[in-house]
Structure 1
Amino acid sequence: MSITPVPRGAHVTRRLIQLYVGLALYGASSALLVRAGLGLEPWGVLHQGLAERTGVSIGVVSIIVGAVVLLLWIPIRQRPGLGTVSNVFAVGIAMDGTLALVPDVHGVAARIAVMVGGIAVNGVATGLYIAARFGPGPRDGLMTGLHLRTGRSIRLVRTLIEVAVVVTGFVLGGSLGAGTVLYALTIGPLAQFFLRLFAIGGKPAVEAAAASGESAADACGPDGGDAAVTARTPDRAILPK
């Protein structure tokens, strides 16, 4: 499995900064959801469940799971980019680092505020990371690869995988709750907004997403929109995890 070479150009420095800031913020946002204790994003539920069972930190579990998922790219012939490989390590490291710095949160109001803040930061991180156009995260590459190999829609493939991930994580002891639901409802619109905000070189969200192998429909939000139709890009998932 070869890695897509890093492109060269006037915007590469900004793109690299954007990539790693986005990955760091993604890990930090996941850590904030852990501290809120009101439910995690789908893969976070699995990571937390495995961490509870193994005694390994949730950040290290995220790295291990990301590496295992990346190995699954081989039979489905997906090609990782710099962002893909960086995602495996950077998100988990940032997550454990944030958990070490941020104390437990007490009180319902404070927990809700941290939960909302975590989801908002996750949206910012998603826009930064995807708009940098260095390749999808390992979990999204698995989804898009299965989509290409099976012919099933990415929405169906993604839903089936994430339902399996959430159920498995919950059975193992992961946190499922209001934060999980709120994340599912809001991350699409948040990602759409921040993809447009952080697009590099004047590229609209759908072009930035397509260049990274992502979904024009999802980059424009749950309903896709006219821009997605105009872009005529393949149906792929956007989230970096």
Structure 2
Amino acid sequence: MTAIDLRPVRVSISPARRLTQLLAGLVLYGASMAMMTRARLGLDPWDVLHEGITKRTGLTFGTVVGIASVAVLLLWIPLRQRPGLGTVLNVLVISVVVDLVRAMLPDQQVLGWRITLLIAGILLNAVATAVYVGARLGPGPRDGLMTGLAARTGWSVRLVRTGIEVTALAAGWLLGGTVGVGTILYALAIGPLTQALLPHVAWRESR
């Protein structure tokens, strides 16, 4: 798993522009999740868990994403992590957008379209991740859990992230979530793609 380079390349001059970037990134992220779920060729570890819970409960995918995000935020309390504006908006925006896009985008039956949706979804997910992380207005719930555990245990972020995602993947698979070629492709591609894109959209505070 490739570490993400967070070194900034631009000077922040407008909080409004950073907020706009954050919202754009979160909307794109929700759309990319919807695209990958409709491809039905395998999901990223957390979405395997979300889909598994959706199948077991009958709740919408976005509702499960929101509930799971709140549950993860509760785990921040003993880790003494503090949410930012981006953290709160992450929960609200993504859970709403993923359901809206899924409603407009039916399941695909033709394999060629499913492959197209998967690849486009992964690429869009990388762009979205770089855009919303680059706004630097607070980590997402799962990112905060990862960094908080790493700080508390002294383990590397890579090791903690791997442990969390393997756990989510295993639990989701047992619940009936979709594991497939898309899961592998996402794991291999998302780190390098996000790392390549992030320096072009990350902000830093002016001094």
- State TM-score, norm by structure 2: 0.91
The question of whether the paired residues in 2 share the 8 Å contact of 1:63 and 1:88 is answered with yes
1:104-157 alpha-carbon deviations (Å, 9 max, x no partner): 212111110100000000011011101100111101111111111111111111
Q: Which one scores higher on RCO, CA 8 angstroms, separation ≥ 6?
A: 2
Deviations 1:70-125 (CA, angstroms, capped at 9, x unpaired): 01101110011111111111111110010011122121111101000000000110
Find out whether 1:45 has 2:61 as its counterpart: no
Q: How far apart are 1:202 and its partner, in Å?
A: 10
SS of the equivalent of 1:75 reads helix
Q: CA deviation at 1:174?
A: 0.4
Higher helix proportion: 2
Q: Check conservation: 1:69, 1:139, Cα contact below 8 A.
A: yes
- For residues 61 and 160 of structure 1, what CA distance do their matches in structure 2 show? 21
Matched, 1:115 2:118: yes
| CA 1:151–1:126: 2 relative to 1, 3 Å | same
Alignment of 1:1-241 (within 5 A): 10-200=13-203
Query: How many percent of aligned residue pairs carry the same amino acid?
Result: 54
When the two chains are superposed, the root-mean-square deviation of aligned CA atoms in Å is: 1.5
TM-score by length of 1: 0.78
Q: Deviations over 1:163-187 (max 9, x none)?
A: 0100000110101111111011011
How many pairs were matched up?
195
Give CA-to-partner distance per residue, 1:1-54, whole Å, 9 cap, x none. xxxxxxxx7321111011011001101101000000000111000000000000
- Alpha-carbon separation, structure 2, partners of 1:76 and 1:103: 40
SS at match of 2:76: coil
CA distance 1:12–1:104, shift in 2 (3 Å): same
Question: How far, CA to CA, are the matches of 2:73 and 2:62 in structure 1?
Answer: 16
**For residues 75 and 202 of structure 2, what CA distance do their matches in structure 1 show?**
30
State the shift of 1:201 in Å: 6.3
